[in-house]
Structure 1
Amino acid sequence: MRLFRLVVAAGLTILAGATAAFAAPATATSNVNLRSGPGTNYAVVGTLRTGQNVEVIECQDSWCFIEDGNRSGWASSAYLQRFNSGGPSRPQPGQPVPSDPSLNFGITIGPDGKPSINFGINQPQVQPPRPGPGPGPRPPRPPRPQPVPPPVAEACFYAEPNYRGASFCLEEGESMARLPRNWNDRIRSVEVLGGATVDICGDANFYGVCQTLESSRSRLANQLDRRISSLEVY
Protein backbone atom coordinates (compact mmCIF):
# COMPACT_ATOMS: atom_id res chain seq x y z
CA MET A 1 0.00 0.00 0.00
CA ARG A 2 2.86 2.36 0.79
CA LEU A 3 4.36 1.61 -2.64
CA PHE A 4 0.97 2.23 -4.30
CA ARG A 5 0.67 5.64 -2.61
CA LEU A 6 4.23 6.61 -3.58
CA VAL A 7 3.57 5.74 -7.25
CA VAL A 8 0.36 7.82 -7.31
CA ALA A 9 2.08 10.78 -5.64
CA ALA A 10 4.97 10.65 -8.12
CA GLY A 11 2.55 10.54 -11.06
CA LEU A 12 0.65 13.59 -9.82
CA THR A 13 3.91 15.49 -9.34
CA ILE A 14 4.97 14.78 -12.94
CA LEU A 15 1.58 15.86 -14.30
CA ALA A 16 1.62 19.08 -12.28
CA GLY A 17 4.99 20.07 -13.74
CA ALA A 18 4.10 19.34 -17.36
CA THR A 19 3.37 22.19 -19.82
CA ALA A 20 0.90 21.59 -22.66
CA ALA A 21 1.55 23.03 -26.11
CA PHE A 22 -1.22 25.43 -27.15
CA ALA A 23 -2.52 25.66 -30.68
CA ALA A 24 -6.08 26.18 -31.85
CA PRO A 25 -7.81 27.21 -35.09
CA ALA A 26 -9.70 30.52 -35.09
CA THR A 27 -11.33 32.95 -37.50
CA ALA A 28 -11.21 36.74 -37.69
CA THR A 29 -14.58 38.33 -36.87
CA SER A 30 -13.58 41.67 -38.43
CA ASN A 31 -10.73 43.32 -40.30
CA VAL A 32 -7.89 43.51 -37.78
CA ASN A 33 -4.23 44.53 -37.94
CA LEU A 34 -1.37 42.09 -37.46
CA ARG A 35 1.41 43.63 -35.36
CA SER A 36 5.00 42.73 -34.59
CA GLY A 37 4.23 42.48 -30.85
CA PRO A 38 1.33 42.19 -28.35
CA GLY A 39 0.12 45.82 -28.30
CA THR A 40 -0.90 48.81 -30.42
CA ASN A 41 2.52 50.37 -29.90
CA TYR A 42 4.07 47.71 -32.16
CA ALA A 43 4.35 48.16 -35.93
CA VAL A 44 1.62 46.93 -38.30
CA VAL A 45 2.93 43.95 -40.32
CA GLY A 46 -0.27 42.93 -42.10
CA THR A 47 -4.07 42.71 -41.97
CA LEU A 48 -6.53 39.87 -41.32
CA ARG A 49 -9.76 40.06 -43.30
CA THR A 50 -13.20 39.22 -41.90
CA GLY A 51 -13.75 35.43 -41.93
CA GLN A 52 -10.07 34.59 -42.49
CA ASN A 53 -9.01 31.32 -40.82
CA VAL A 54 -5.80 31.32 -38.78
CA GLU A 55 -3.94 29.15 -36.25
CA VAL A 56 -3.58 30.61 -32.71
CA ILE A 57 -0.13 29.68 -31.36
CA GLU A 58 -0.15 31.49 -27.99
CA CYS A 59 -1.90 34.35 -26.17
CA GLN A 60 -0.69 37.05 -23.80
CA ASP A 61 -3.36 39.07 -21.97
CA SER A 62 -5.70 40.31 -24.75
CA TRP A 63 -3.32 39.57 -27.67
CA CYS A 64 -2.70 36.31 -29.55
CA PHE A 65 0.16 35.27 -31.84
CA ILE A 66 -1.32 33.74 -35.02
CA GLU A 67 -0.18 32.12 -38.25
CA ASP A 68 -2.11 31.81 -41.52
CA GLY A 69 0.43 29.81 -43.54
CA ASN A 70 2.06 32.79 -45.28
CA ARG A 71 2.61 35.23 -42.43
CA SER A 72 2.42 35.58 -38.68
CA GLY A 73 1.94 38.30 -36.08
CA TRP A 74 -0.01 39.46 -33.04
CA ALA A 75 -3.75 40.28 -33.24
CA SER A 76 -6.25 41.46 -30.64
CA SER A 77 -8.12 38.46 -29.20
CA ALA A 78 -11.35 40.54 -29.20
CA TYR A 79 -11.57 39.96 -32.97
CA LEU A 80 -10.67 36.25 -33.00
CA GLN A 81 -13.28 33.52 -32.55
CA ARG A 82 -11.95 30.06 -31.80
CA PHE A 83 -13.54 26.99 -33.31
CA ASN A 84 -15.30 24.61 -30.92
CA SER A 85 -12.97 21.84 -29.77
CA GLY A 86 -13.71 18.62 -27.96
CA GLY A 87 -13.22 18.48 -24.19
CA PRO A 88 -11.87 15.64 -22.10
CA SER A 89 -13.41 12.26 -22.77
CA ARG A 90 -16.01 10.93 -20.39
CA PRO A 91 -16.97 7.30 -19.73
CA GLN A 92 -19.64 6.14 -22.15
CA PRO A 93 -22.99 4.96 -20.75
CA GLY A 94 -22.73 1.32 -19.75
CA GLN A 95 -18.93 1.37 -19.49
CA PRO A 96 -17.79 -0.36 -16.26
CA VAL A 97 -15.88 1.86 -13.84
CA PRO A 98 -13.50 -0.02 -11.52
CA SER A 99 -13.26 1.02 -7.89
CA ASP A 100 -10.01 1.38 -5.95
CA PRO A 101 -8.58 -1.74 -4.27
CA SER A 102 -8.74 -1.86 -0.47
CA LEU A 103 -7.06 -3.89 2.29
CA ASN A 104 -9.15 -6.16 4.57
CA PHE A 105 -8.40 -8.54 7.42
CA GLY A 106 -10.32 -10.63 9.99
CA ILE A 107 -9.90 -12.80 13.09
CA THR A 108 -11.85 -16.05 13.58
CA ILE A 109 -11.88 -18.50 16.51
CA GLY A 110 -11.80 -22.17 15.52
CA PRO A 111 -13.57 -25.08 17.29
CA ASP A 112 -10.40 -25.81 19.15
CA GLY A 113 -10.34 -22.26 20.56
CA LYS A 114 -7.30 -21.16 18.57
CA PRO A 115 -7.50 -17.79 16.75
CA SER A 116 -6.94 -17.56 12.99
CA ILE A 117 -5.97 -14.28 11.27
CA ASN A 118 -6.89 -13.74 7.61
CA PHE A 119 -6.00 -10.73 5.45
CA GLY A 120 -5.91 -9.79 1.75
CA ILE A 121 -6.57 -7.14 -0.86
CA ASN A 122 -10.04 -6.88 -2.34
CA GLN A 123 -10.19 -7.05 -6.10
CA PRO A 124 -11.65 -3.98 -7.84
CA GLN A 125 -15.41 -4.18 -7.97
CA VAL A 126 -17.00 -3.58 -11.33
CA GLN A 127 -20.10 -1.43 -11.19
CA PRO A 128 -23.05 -2.71 -13.18
CA PRO A 129 -23.68 -0.85 -16.44
CA ARG A 130 -26.12 2.01 -16.25
CA PRO A 131 -29.13 1.86 -18.53
CA GLY A 132 -28.62 3.96 -21.66
CA PRO A 133 -31.00 6.65 -22.89
CA GLY A 134 -32.45 4.29 -25.48
CA PRO A 135 -31.56 2.58 -28.75
CA GLY A 136 -29.54 4.48 -31.31
CA PRO A 137 -26.81 7.14 -30.95
CA ARG A 138 -27.39 10.21 -28.82
CA PRO A 139 -28.10 13.28 -30.99
CA PRO A 140 -25.34 15.92 -30.92
CA ARG A 141 -25.85 18.98 -28.79
CA PRO A 142 -26.50 22.19 -30.71
CA PRO A 143 -23.56 24.64 -30.61
CA ARG A 144 -23.81 27.53 -28.20
CA PRO A 145 -24.34 30.91 -29.85
CA GLN A 146 -21.20 33.03 -29.81
CA PRO A 147 -21.44 36.68 -28.73
CA VAL A 148 -21.16 39.11 -31.64
CA PRO A 149 -18.39 41.66 -31.03
CA PRO A 150 -19.20 45.32 -31.65
CA PRO A 151 -18.11 46.71 -35.04
CA VAL A 152 -14.58 48.09 -35.11
CA ALA A 153 -14.16 51.75 -36.01
CA GLU A 154 -11.30 51.59 -38.51
CA ALA A 155 -10.24 52.36 -42.06
CA CYS A 156 -8.39 50.26 -44.63
CA PHE A 157 -6.24 51.75 -47.40
CA TYR A 158 -5.69 50.04 -50.77
CA ALA A 159 -3.11 50.40 -53.52
CA GLU A 160 -5.74 49.89 -56.27
CA PRO A 161 -9.28 51.24 -56.91
CA ASN A 162 -12.32 49.27 -55.71
CA TYR A 163 -10.54 48.09 -52.54
CA ARG A 164 -8.08 45.85 -54.35
CA GLY A 165 -4.35 45.23 -54.24
CA ALA A 166 -2.06 45.56 -51.24
CA SER A 167 -3.65 47.10 -48.15
CA PHE A 168 -3.26 48.02 -44.50
CA CYS A 169 -5.72 49.18 -41.82
CA LEU A 170 -5.66 51.65 -38.94
CA GLU A 171 -8.07 51.59 -36.00
CA GLU A 172 -9.78 54.57 -34.38
CA GLY A 173 -7.20 56.80 -32.66
CA GLU A 174 -4.28 55.77 -34.91
CA SER A 175 -2.52 58.03 -37.39
CA MET A 176 0.54 58.29 -39.65
CA ALA A 177 2.06 61.78 -39.89
CA ARG A 178 4.42 60.49 -42.57
CA LEU A 179 3.63 57.39 -44.61
CA PRO A 180 6.49 54.89 -45.11
CA ARG A 181 8.24 54.95 -48.47
CA ASN A 182 6.40 51.88 -49.77
CA TRP A 183 3.01 53.59 -49.19
CA ASN A 184 3.73 57.26 -49.85
CA ASP A 185 1.77 58.52 -52.90
CA ARG A 186 0.33 55.04 -53.47
CA ILE A 187 -3.19 54.89 -51.92
CA ARG A 188 -6.07 54.83 -54.45
CA SER A 189 -9.15 53.69 -52.45
CA VAL A 190 -10.22 53.89 -48.80
CA GLU A 191 -12.69 51.62 -46.93
CA VAL A 192 -14.26 53.28 -43.85
CA LEU A 193 -15.78 50.85 -41.30
CA GLY A 194 -17.62 50.99 -37.97
CA GLY A 195 -18.49 54.70 -38.07
CA ALA A 196 -14.89 55.90 -38.27
CA THR A 197 -13.79 59.24 -39.78
CA VAL A 198 -10.61 59.60 -41.85
CA ASP A 199 -8.45 62.63 -42.69
CA ILE A 200 -6.12 62.21 -45.68
CA CYS A 201 -3.55 64.82 -46.71
CA GLY A 202 -1.25 65.26 -49.68
CA ASP A 203 1.80 66.29 -47.64
CA ALA A 204 3.46 64.93 -44.51
CA ASN A 205 2.35 66.14 -41.05
CA PHE A 206 -1.20 66.77 -42.35
CA TYR A 207 -0.28 69.66 -44.67
CA GLY A 208 -1.22 70.32 -48.27
CA VAL A 209 -4.53 69.31 -49.82
CA CYS A 210 -6.61 67.44 -47.20
CA GLN A 211 -9.99 65.70 -47.26
CA THR A 212 -12.22 64.26 -44.52
CA LEU A 213 -13.93 60.95 -45.31
CA GLU A 214 -16.93 59.63 -43.37
CA SER A 215 -17.71 56.85 -45.85
CA SER A 216 -15.77 54.56 -48.16
CA ARG A 217 -14.28 55.75 -51.46
CA SER A 218 -13.75 53.12 -54.15
CA ARG A 219 -11.70 55.68 -56.10
CA LEU A 220 -10.14 58.84 -54.66
CA ALA A 221 -10.49 62.27 -56.22
CA ASN A 222 -7.78 63.25 -58.69
CA GLN A 223 -6.09 65.72 -56.33
CA LEU A 224 -5.44 62.92 -53.78
CA ASP A 225 -5.33 59.80 -55.96
CA ARG A 226 -1.82 58.36 -55.40
CA ARG A 227 -0.89 61.62 -53.64
CA ILE A 228 -1.48 60.85 -49.93
CA SER A 229 1.46 61.32 -47.54
CA SER A 230 -0.28 61.49 -44.11
CA LEU A 231 -3.56 60.25 -42.64
CA GLU A 232 -5.51 59.92 -39.39
CA VAL A 233 -8.42 57.72 -38.24
CA TYR A 234 -10.74 58.92 -35.45
Structure 2
Amino acid sequence: MITKRLYLAAAVAAATLASTAVAFAQPGIATNAVNVRSGPGTNYAKLGALSAGEIVDVQQCQGSWCYVDRSAGKDGWVSKNYLQPYQPSGNSGGGNKKPDIPFSFGMTIGPGGPNISIGIGNAPPPPAPVTPRVCFFKGNNYSGAQFCVAPGTNDPQLMGGWDDSISSIQVQGGAQVTVCTNFWYAGSCTTTASSQPSLGAYNNAISSFQAF
Protein backbone atom coordinates (compact mmCIF):
# COMPACT_ATOMS: atom_id res chain seq x y z
CA MET A 1 0.00 0.00 0.00
CA ILE A 2 2.82 2.41 0.91
CA THR A 3 4.59 1.64 -2.38
CA LYS A 4 1.44 2.45 -4.33
CA ARG A 5 1.09 5.72 -2.43
CA LEU A 6 4.68 6.62 -3.27
CA TYR A 7 4.08 6.00 -6.96
CA LEU A 8 0.86 7.99 -6.84
CA ALA A 9 2.53 10.87 -5.05
CA ALA A 10 5.39 10.95 -7.54
CA ALA A 11 2.93 10.95 -10.45
CA VAL A 12 0.93 13.79 -8.94
CA ALA A 13 4.09 15.77 -8.31
CA ALA A 14 5.29 15.30 -11.86
CA ALA A 15 1.95 16.40 -13.28
CA THR A 16 1.88 19.41 -10.99
CA LEU A 17 5.40 20.42 -11.94
CA ALA A 18 4.63 20.09 -15.63
CA SER A 19 1.47 22.17 -15.44
CA THR A 20 2.78 24.91 -13.14
CA ALA A 21 4.11 28.10 -14.67
CA VAL A 22 7.64 28.39 -13.33
CA ALA A 23 8.71 31.71 -11.84
CA PHE A 24 12.39 32.66 -11.65
CA ALA A 25 14.37 35.62 -10.40
CA GLN A 26 15.14 38.29 -12.95
CA PRO A 27 16.52 41.81 -12.57
CA GLY A 28 14.10 44.70 -12.55
CA ILE A 29 14.30 48.44 -12.01
CA ALA A 30 11.86 50.74 -10.23
CA THR A 31 10.42 53.34 -12.59
CA ASN A 32 9.33 55.54 -9.68
CA ALA A 33 9.29 55.56 -5.89
CA VAL A 34 6.95 52.82 -4.61
CA ASN A 35 6.10 51.30 -1.22
CA VAL A 36 7.44 47.86 -0.26
CA ARG A 37 4.80 45.82 1.61
CA SER A 38 4.70 42.56 3.59
CA GLY A 39 2.16 41.03 1.19
CA PRO A 40 0.64 41.47 -2.29
CA GLY A 41 -1.81 44.31 -1.57
CA THR A 42 -2.19 47.76 -0.07
CA ASN A 43 -3.76 46.24 3.05
CA TYR A 44 -0.43 44.70 4.04
CA ALA A 45 2.04 46.52 6.28
CA LYS A 46 4.54 48.93 4.70
CA LEU A 47 8.14 47.72 5.11
CA GLY A 48 9.90 50.54 3.27
CA ALA A 49 10.04 52.00 -0.23
CA LEU A 50 11.96 51.55 -3.47
CA SER A 51 13.53 54.67 -4.88
CA ALA A 52 13.26 55.53 -8.56
CA GLY A 53 15.98 53.70 -10.48
CA GLU A 54 16.62 51.10 -7.74
CA ILE A 55 17.63 47.70 -9.16
CA VAL A 56 16.08 44.60 -7.59
CA ASP A 57 15.69 40.86 -8.24
CA VAL A 58 12.06 40.03 -9.05
CA GLN A 59 11.41 36.64 -7.41
CA GLN A 60 7.76 36.04 -8.28
CA CYS A 61 4.55 37.85 -9.20
CA GLN A 62 0.95 37.40 -8.10
CA GLY A 63 -1.56 39.38 -10.12
CA SER A 64 -0.40 43.00 -10.13
CA TRP A 65 2.17 42.51 -7.31
CA CYS A 66 5.74 41.18 -7.37
CA TYR A 67 8.07 40.04 -4.58
CA VAL A 68 11.49 41.71 -4.89
CA ASP A 69 14.86 40.92 -3.34
CA ARG A 70 16.79 44.11 -2.54
CA SER A 71 20.51 44.61 -2.06
CA ALA A 72 19.74 47.28 0.55
CA GLY A 73 16.56 47.59 2.58
CA LYS A 74 13.85 45.09 3.39
CA ASP A 75 12.61 42.64 0.75
CA GLY A 76 8.88 42.58 0.08
CA TRP A 77 6.02 43.07 -2.37
CA VAL A 78 5.61 46.05 -4.72
CA SER A 79 3.14 46.97 -7.43
CA LYS A 80 4.50 45.70 -10.74
CA ASN A 81 3.15 48.85 -12.39
CA TYR A 82 6.31 50.51 -11.00
CA LEU A 83 8.74 47.85 -12.29
CA GLN A 84 10.29 47.14 -15.66
CA PRO A 85 12.97 44.69 -16.84
CA TYR A 86 16.51 45.89 -16.20
CA GLN A 87 18.97 45.76 -19.08
CA PRO A 88 22.55 46.64 -18.03
CA SER A 89 24.39 48.95 -20.41
CA GLY A 90 26.52 47.05 -22.89
CA ASN A 91 24.38 43.94 -22.67
CA SER A 92 24.97 42.06 -25.92
CA GLY A 93 21.91 39.94 -25.43
CA GLY A 94 21.80 36.21 -25.30
CA GLY A 95 18.66 35.17 -27.04
CA ASN A 96 15.77 33.94 -24.98
CA LYS A 97 17.75 31.47 -22.88
CA LYS A 98 16.42 31.28 -19.34
CA PRO A 99 18.63 30.65 -16.32
CA ASP A 100 18.66 27.31 -14.59
CA ILE A 101 15.81 27.07 -12.13
CA PRO A 102 16.63 25.51 -8.77
CA PHE A 103 13.84 23.43 -7.31
CA SER A 104 13.27 21.13 -4.38
CA PHE A 105 10.94 18.19 -3.98
CA GLY A 106 9.76 16.78 -0.67
CA MET A 107 7.33 14.04 0.25
CA THR A 108 6.21 12.55 3.56
CA ILE A 109 3.80 9.70 4.31
CA GLY A 110 1.40 10.28 7.18
CA PRO A 111 -1.92 8.96 8.44
CA GLY A 112 -3.74 11.03 5.86
CA GLY A 113 -1.64 9.75 2.97
CA PRO A 114 1.24 11.34 0.99
CA ASN A 115 2.04 15.00 1.57
CA ILE A 116 3.92 16.62 -1.31
CA SER A 117 5.83 19.90 -1.26
CA ILE A 118 7.49 21.45 -4.31
CA GLY A 119 9.69 24.53 -4.17
CA ILE A 120 10.69 26.36 -7.35
CA GLY A 121 13.27 29.11 -7.62
CA ASN A 122 14.03 31.45 -4.73
CA ALA A 123 10.43 32.58 -4.20
CA PRO A 124 9.47 33.28 -0.58
CA PRO A 125 6.62 31.46 1.14
CA PRO A 126 3.21 33.13 0.84
CA PRO A 127 2.79 35.90 3.41
CA ALA A 128 0.82 35.13 6.54
CA PRO A 129 -2.70 36.57 6.39
CA VAL A 130 -3.11 39.88 8.18
CA THR A 131 -5.74 39.94 10.93
CA PRO A 132 -8.54 42.39 9.99
CA ARG A 133 -8.47 45.39 12.32
CA VAL A 134 -8.66 49.18 12.42
CA CYS A 135 -6.19 51.25 14.46
CA PHE A 136 -6.60 54.90 15.41
CA PHE A 137 -3.66 57.22 16.15
CA LYS A 138 -3.40 60.65 17.74
CA GLY A 139 -0.53 61.66 15.45
CA ASN A 140 -0.14 61.81 11.67
CA ASN A 141 1.54 58.89 9.86
CA TYR A 142 0.38 56.37 12.50
CA SER A 143 2.28 57.97 15.37
CA GLY A 144 1.51 58.80 18.99
CA ALA A 145 -1.04 57.07 21.22
CA GLN A 146 -3.17 54.43 19.53
CA PHE A 147 -5.93 51.88 19.99
CA CYS A 148 -7.12 49.10 17.68
CA VAL A 149 -10.48 47.38 17.19
CA ALA A 150 -11.78 44.35 15.30
CA PRO A 151 -14.49 44.53 12.61
CA GLY A 152 -17.92 44.71 14.20
CA THR A 153 -16.78 47.21 16.86
CA ASN A 154 -18.84 50.39 17.10
CA ASP A 155 -18.37 53.40 19.37
CA PRO A 156 -21.13 56.01 19.22
CA GLN A 157 -19.34 58.32 21.70
CA LEU A 158 -15.57 58.41 21.78
CA MET A 159 -14.34 59.01 25.30
CA GLY A 160 -11.10 58.70 27.24
CA GLY A 161 -9.45 61.65 25.53
CA TRP A 162 -10.10 60.33 22.01
CA ASP A 163 -12.99 62.60 21.03
CA ASP A 164 -11.75 65.07 18.39
CA SER A 165 -8.21 63.67 18.83
CA ILE A 166 -7.66 61.19 15.94
CA SER A 167 -5.18 62.23 13.22
CA SER A 168 -4.50 59.00 11.26
CA ILE A 169 -6.14 55.60 10.73
CA GLN A 170 -4.55 52.27 9.78
CA VAL A 171 -6.81 49.66 8.10
CA GLN A 172 -5.58 46.07 7.77
CA GLY A 173 -6.73 42.69 6.50
CA GLY A 174 -9.67 43.90 4.42
CA ALA A 175 -11.41 45.76 7.24
CA GLN A 176 -13.32 49.02 6.68
CA VAL A 177 -14.38 51.85 8.97
CA THR A 178 -16.89 54.68 8.90
CA VAL A 179 -16.01 57.75 10.98
CA CYS A 180 -18.29 60.67 11.87
CA THR A 181 -17.71 64.14 13.28
CA ASN A 182 -20.57 63.96 15.82
CA PHE A 183 -21.75 61.46 18.43
CA TRP A 184 -24.07 58.63 17.35
CA TYR A 185 -22.76 58.57 13.79
CA ALA A 186 -24.12 62.02 12.99
CA GLY A 187 -22.60 65.03 11.30
CA SER A 188 -20.23 64.53 8.41
CA CYS A 189 -19.24 60.86 7.85
CA THR A 190 -16.84 59.04 5.54
CA THR A 191 -15.93 55.39 4.95
CA THR A 192 -12.45 54.09 4.12
CA ALA A 193 -11.07 50.64 3.29
CA SER A 194 -7.44 51.76 3.19
CA SER A 195 -5.00 53.29 5.64
CA GLN A 196 -5.02 57.09 5.95
CA PRO A 197 -1.77 58.69 7.22
CA SER A 198 -3.56 62.04 7.51
CA LEU A 199 -7.26 62.85 7.67
CA GLY A 200 -7.68 66.28 6.11
CA ALA A 201 -11.02 67.77 7.20
CA TYR A 202 -11.52 64.89 9.66
CA ASN A 203 -8.26 65.56 11.50
CA ASN A 204 -9.02 65.96 15.23
CA ALA A 205 -12.73 65.97 14.37
CA ILE A 206 -13.90 62.34 14.81
CA SER A 207 -16.44 61.64 17.58
CA SER A 208 -17.86 58.21 16.62
CA PHE A 209 -16.99 55.24 14.38
CA GLN A 210 -18.25 51.89 13.06
CA ALA A 211 -15.71 49.21 12.03
CA PHE A 212 -16.76 46.38 9.71
Structure label with greater radius of gyration: 1
TM-score range, shorter chain: 0.3 to 0.5
For normalisation by structure 1, the TM-score amounts to 0.36
For normalisation by structure 2, the TM-score amounts to 0.40
Higher RCO (CA 8 Å, separation ≥ 6 residues): 2
